[in-house]
C-alpha cells in the first residue's frame, strides 16, 4: 500500500536497507526491503511506547538489471527477449508474494512514451520498481513515504541510464478509496500528486497509471 503524506523533517526516524543481491535462479533481479525505525514516537501520535524500536514503515522493491537481460542482438527492449522471460520466471516463483514484474515488463515494452523519454526507457540498464510503500498510521501525514523512497534511491546509487517507476494507485487503490471515502479515480489522483513531489511524472503518453523518475534528477 502506498501511503501519502506532507513534507516534514525526519529527525525522528532512521532507516535500514537490505538487498538480496542474487536471488536463487534470478541473478538479474534483486529484491530489496527497507525499514523505517523511529528514534522517538511523538506522544500525541497514538503509538504505544512498546513499539518505539520496531519498524514503523517499509518499502518493497525490485531492482532489475535490464542491461544484462537484453539479448546480444537487441539494443533495446523488444518482446520475447530475456527481459520478458526472466520477469515471467520471477513472477512464477514468487506468485505467493504477489510478484508482478510482468506488469513492469509490459509497460516498458508495449506502451508508447513521450519523445523526450523514449531513449531513456529504451537504453535503461537498470530499472527500480517500487512495489510497495507502507507506513504505520501514527507515522503518516508528514511526508515520510517521500523521504523513504528518495533515500532508498540515493542509497542504491543507480548511476546513469536508470529508471525508477511505480504505480500511484496500483493494488492499493481500493484501500485508499475506502479509507478516504472517495472514488478510486480521485484517490489515485491524490496519490499521483503526492509522488510528483519527489519528481515522479508520467513518461508514457498511453498509460498514465505509471509514474517514472530519472534518479539523476532526484
DSSP state at residue 66: H
* DSSP structure string for 172-213: GHHHHHHHHTS-HHHHHHHHHHHHHTTT-B--BSS-TTEEEE
* pTM attached to this predicted model: 0.77
Q: What is the CATH number of domain 13-217?
A: 3.40.630
CA distance 135 to 217: 25
pLDDT bracket for residue 75 (50, 70, 90): very low
pLDDT tens track for 28-50: 999 998 888 766 444 445 555 55
pLDDT of 171 reads 38
CA distance 90 to 87: 5
Would you state the cell numbers that stand for residue 216, as one nine-digit string? 539523476
Selected residue with higher pLDDT from 20 and 68: 68
**pLDDT over 70 at 148, yes or no:** yes
CA distance 152 to 33: 10
CB burial class (10 A; 0-12, 13-18, 19+) of residue 25?
exposed
Average pLDDT over residues 75-91: 73
CA distance 191 to 211: 11
pLDDT tens track for 181-216: 333 445 678 888 889 999 999 999 988 889 999 999
Kindly list the strands in the beta sheet with 162-167, ordered across the sheet, starting from the edge strand earlier in the chain. Answer: 13-20, 29-38, 57-64, 126-135, 162-167, 210-213
pLDDT of 7 reads 32
Q: Within 13 Å, how many C-alpha atoms sit on residue 199's CB side?
A: 12
Amino acid at each position: 500500500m502506498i501511503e501519502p503524506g506532507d513534507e516534514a523533517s525526519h529527525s525522528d526516524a532512521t532507516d535500514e536497507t537490505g538487498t538480496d543481491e542474487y536471488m536463487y535462479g534470478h541473478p538479474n533481479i534483486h529484491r530489496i526491503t527497507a525499514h523505517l525505525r523511529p528514534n522517538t514516537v511523538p506522544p500525541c501520535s497514538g503509538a504505544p511506547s512498546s513499539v518505539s524500536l520496531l519498524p514503523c514503515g517499509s518499502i518493497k522493491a525490485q531492482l532489475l538489471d535490464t542491461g544484462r537481460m537484453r539479448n546480444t542482438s537487441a539494443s533495446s527492449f523488444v518482446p520475447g527477449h530475456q527481459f520478458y522471460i526472466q520477469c515471467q520466471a520471477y513472477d512464477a516463483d514468487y506468485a505467493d508474494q504477489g510478484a508482478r514484474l510482468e506488469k513492469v515488463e509490459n509497460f516498458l515494452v508495449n506502451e508508447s512514451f513521450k519523445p523526450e523519454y523514449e531513449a531513456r526507457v529504451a537504453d535503461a540498464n537498470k530499472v527500480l520498481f517500487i512495489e510497495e510503500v507502507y507506513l504505520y498510521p501514527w507515522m503518516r501525514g508528514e511526508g515520510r513515504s517521500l523521504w523513504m523512497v528518495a533515500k532508498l534511491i540515493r542509497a542504491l546509487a543507480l548511476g546513469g541510464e536508470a529508471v525508477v517507476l511505480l504505480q500511484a494507485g496500483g493494488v492499493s487503490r481500493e484501500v485508499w478509496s475506502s479509507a478516504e471515502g472517495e472514488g478510486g479515480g480521485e484517490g489515485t489522483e491524490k496519490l499521483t500528486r503526492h509522488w510528483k513531489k519527489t519528481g515522479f511524472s508520467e513518461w508514457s503518453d498511453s498509460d498514465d497509471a505509471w509514474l517514472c523518475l530519472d534518479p539523476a534528477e532526484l
